[in-house]
Structure 1
């Protein structure tokens, strides 16, 4: 990508709608309520062959620096400083407001190139607002409709004219050459079982006010995400990228997950749905618990959701700097973990402090270790030798006087490891025997703390066609 564009404007002018239009997907939450977006969200935009980075920002509001709105404004100004060009959105339907003029002054102070965009230009009576936008002194406004996709080619031309063709298309040849080199290098090589060069996708989940955004800011070493004492600040699932010991990490901050009965507002439902999508997209999910009040019912439901989705879970006991008797507390927490999460015995549980940075290296070590296990593959020969041994130690039960036979076992997938067993009567095999096999897999093949899947398939009866003919 050749340059970065920040979308700025006052609340409810359609910044997130335009962001979704540019990236071609509904990544940002959109609602009629002003102030939905709080953090700055990056994305990869494309308009008729023009590619660039785009940043969605919070709406500008006049407020003190210690308030939530003031911290949101600081995030917007950080996005402007990071960008090469700003798309300044105004509402052509509503006309100019004092907030628009204030933001125009901020953009002038930053000295960045600006494209003035008059959104909602398809509305009746929008011509007056379009002409009124000339008063800002930022050049000719570009009329568009982010909701309906009108005026996108005019917006592309305005961006190219403002930043210059050389800057707009500078990296296309380099990207094309890189793609060819990568294709040539990959030709004829077998894909490794575990590739540490690939980015590791990690989602941070938990109840509201557990310290998820503070934890990610500590990893990055900057105030990238909006934080504060208020519960439920994060709404969008924001992805950030960084490097840990040479390994590329793509980490997702998510909205706090409350009990389903308490989620009533439409906006919170959208935030929860966005968090669930982040969990499904991630490979490892860090469940952040408050060390002072761990393992409430909602914490266990979140952990169970992660396990049912087949993600690799890691428990993080946050706010560890506030715990006094650490050794006794840690022992109790580990005992509770083993007792309350028996479906993933041996799950990693690490005490950390997002505020001070304590324990973050141990947490990332646990994340990479569990990701390696999550990608494990076991040969069919080893599995069948193991299955024979397990049946000798504890044979399957006899149901209705007939012994159940487990004939053959193989691994059909990884991420998480999934196995299939050819069985004479799969419908009669009790769940307790499946738990016996899963626990044996964990212990004998060193697979603690990750979900394991075992399914059964009934073998074909070679005498069935003869019986049918008779």
Structure 2
């Protein structure tokens, strides 16, 4: 079952990242200027009572002039509207109610999405809580006073957030048509691919990165089966700052991946696999989703006998964490191999929902242990008592051992590879959970 997506919107310096870090329980959204991967962690899993949701921090824009701040805030708000189930609109009690807050509140109100209005920096409730009442003037409901830095007021705020989530039984009764998220960096041909699959120009396509209008769900019937394709739009308009296009394409990818059964990562065949492709692939892997890598524009690539295998090698090198992914070479322009895409979708769905009997699973693991002895440490050897599959989407296995500390990552990977060799599981990640129990033998 997919998790709800909650997006945080607000002006620069109202404390979005502080709230995000406090709820995520670690410094994921990086405040200091560290180059590299850390800056890109703009989503996290949050648990509150019996609910789990994915939280997205849309923030991080601090331009100088107020009109640019407003245009960038509108862009953030639009992305939150497009992607989130619930929007946290964050304001600052110290700065008070400002014009930009009112303008974004108008946009959010018109979206008809549930909004939780949060007033941050209420560090002393006795002194400042009355000041938060000013925000009733926004006309989007009760302001929830909090201190993100002091972790005050979170309970009432999170209660308000989860009150907007659908009931679990409603989620379970939802349409069980497979949902396929088509993701990738801007301008690789995501919309062209969906247009081709639908046979009609549902989405606006142009050569400017980030011109797709919206995240659009498109139902397609192929060989008497229904599929729902989710286009993860770029920006509504070309951003003034190039880096924002990348950030927001990732924000949208997170939300679409969360609600998908299968992720089709579209790569530009002429350009090859990039670092941004790896970031988006990492989201799908982390979320435990079945993955197909569609190398698009293959008709435009000059080929010899080694071109395809060289491209596969490069993909495996850059996306070394998902060697299980199914790779197909397509052209959205000519329609080349698009029939194979449906076939691949069916296969990876079957793999991600496959269950393996406990008896046969333990036979395979016993053979694997006989072929490669488990690791030892200070004379103590790892013993594997029992393995059982406990979940699907992704297939999840619990391995009962005598000592968790002896279960090295490399041996977990070895067992995973043995399970794949025997049962397939192409296109889906596997989760291996190690549990310790007393050695009674």
**What TM-score, normalized to structure 1?**
0.55
Which whole-Å CA distance do the structure 1 matches of 2:327 and 2:248 have between them? 30
Structure number with larger C-alpha Rg: 1
Which whole-Å CA distance do the structure 1 matches of 2:82 and 2:176 have between them? 20
Structure 1 alignment gaps of length 5 or more:
1-28, 44-92, 95-118, 120-146, 151-190, 192-196, 464-470
Alpha-carbon shift at residue 235 of structure 1 (Å) = 5.8
Alpha-carbon shift at residue 326 of structure 1 (Å) = 5.7
Instruction: Render the CA deviation track for 1:274-304: whole Å, top value 9, x for unaligned.
Output: 3311111101101101101111221122222
Structure 2 equivalent of residue 249 of structure 1: 227
CA RMSD of the aligned region, Å?
3.8
Structure 2 equivalent of residue 396 of structure 1: 374
Alignment: residue pair count: 290
Structure 2 equivalent of residue 449 of structure 1: 427
CA contact (8 A) 2:355 2:389 kept: yes
Select 1:384's aligned residue among 347, 354, 362. 362
1:16-55 aligned at under 5 Å gives the runs: 33=71
1:172-183 aligned at under 5 Å gives the runs: none
Instruction: Render the CA deviation track for 1:177-201: whole Å, top value 9, x for unaligned.
Output: xxxxxxxxxxxxxx9xxxxx93110
Structure 2 alignment gaps of length 5 or more:
1-57, 59-68, 84-101, 104-109, 111-137, 142-171, 236-240
SS at match of 1:350: strand
Which whole-Å CA distance do the structure 1 matches of 2:332 and 2:223 have between them? 19
CA contact (8 A) 1:204 1:251 kept: yes
CA contact (8 A) 2:324 2:429 kept: no
Instruction: Render the CA deviation track for 1:139-195: whole Å, top value 9, x for unaligned.
Output: xxxxxxxx8479xxxxxxxxxxxxxxxxxxxxxxxxxxxxxxxxxxxxxxxx9xxxx
1:70-85 aligned at under 5 Å gives the runs: none
Instruction: Render the CA deviation track for 1:424-465: whole Å, top value 9, x for unaligned.
Output: 0112221111111011111011223320111110114679xx
Which whole-Å CA distance do the structure 1 matches of 2:178 and 2:307 have between them? 31
Select 1:345's aligned residue among 323, 332, 335. 323
Which whole-Å CA distance do the structure 1 matches of 2:70 and 2:201 have between them? 28
Which whole-Å CA distance do the structure 2 matches of 1:264 and 1:353 have between them? 28
Which whole-Å CA distance do the structure 1 matches of 2:78 and 2:305 have between them? 38
Q: Report which stretch shifted further, 348-357 or 374-383.
A: 348-357
1:437 lines up with 2:430 in the alignment: no
1:227 lines up with 2:202 in the alignment: no
CA contact (8 A) 1:237 1:275 kept: no
Structure 1 equivalent of residue 116 of structure 2: none
1:344-383 aligned at under 5 Å gives the runs: 344-383=322-361
Return closer, same or farther for 1:428/1:322 CA change in 2, 3 Å cut-off: same
Return closer, same or farther for 1:424/1:462 CA change in 2, 3 Å cut-off: closer
CA contact (8 A) 1:203 1:284 kept: yes
